[in-house]
Amino acid sequence: MMEVVQQTEYSTKSNLVYRIEDDIEFQPGKNIIRHIASKSTKKVEPLLSKLLTYLINKPFQPITRDELKDTFWAAEVYSDETLTKAISKLRKLLAPHDCIQTLSKVGYEWTGNVTEITTPIPLFQQQIQRFLLNKTSIWVLILVIILLLILKGFFFPHH
């Protein structure tokens, strides 16, 4: 069982999409990888999603096995095999691209081409956010609730 020890700075927003090698879309906030050409979508384990996001955000930088162990696993659940299996699963998800290179006696390195795409928030969601941020709207909402409570007491008095 893999266990995430701490949240990393690479936790993601649900509308963030990484385009990998121009034909894979990775949505870390939704734990989804989509191969554009085949139109296949695969669910990604949350830990693997965070690990992939971490690698993507450190392109062409050697990342030691110890760094990954300390970032993602508690000491009591970690083994070298745990990390090796996680990297193997990521490689299968990214096939046919070889974006994760093994650095002998060091660790790994992300070598894939990535474009970050932020999808726009839907209009309805934007309108709700604007409404909630508008102080006048909040006061109107509070007054409506108070008025409804008064009317309830007037029309349905306790006996």
pLDDT at position 12 over 60: no
What CATH number does domain 16-118 carry, 3.40.630.40, 1.10.10.10, 1.20.1250.20, 3.20.20.80?
A: 1.10.10.10
How many Å apart are CA 52 and CA 28, to the nearest integer? Answer: 8
**Which pLDDT value is given to residue 86?**
96
pLDDT at position 6 over 70: no
Tell me which residue of 60, 67, 47, 62 sits closest to 112, measured CA to CA: 60
Which pTM does this prediction carry?
0.67
How many Å apart are CA 17 and CA 5, to the nearest integer? Answer: 24
pLDDT tens per residue across span 92-129: 999 999 999 999 999 999 999 999 987 665 666 666 66
- Burial of 7 from C-beta contacts in 10 A (0-12 / 13-18 / 19+): exposed
- Residue spans per domain, the chain: 16-118, 123-155
Structure tokens at 7: 């949240």
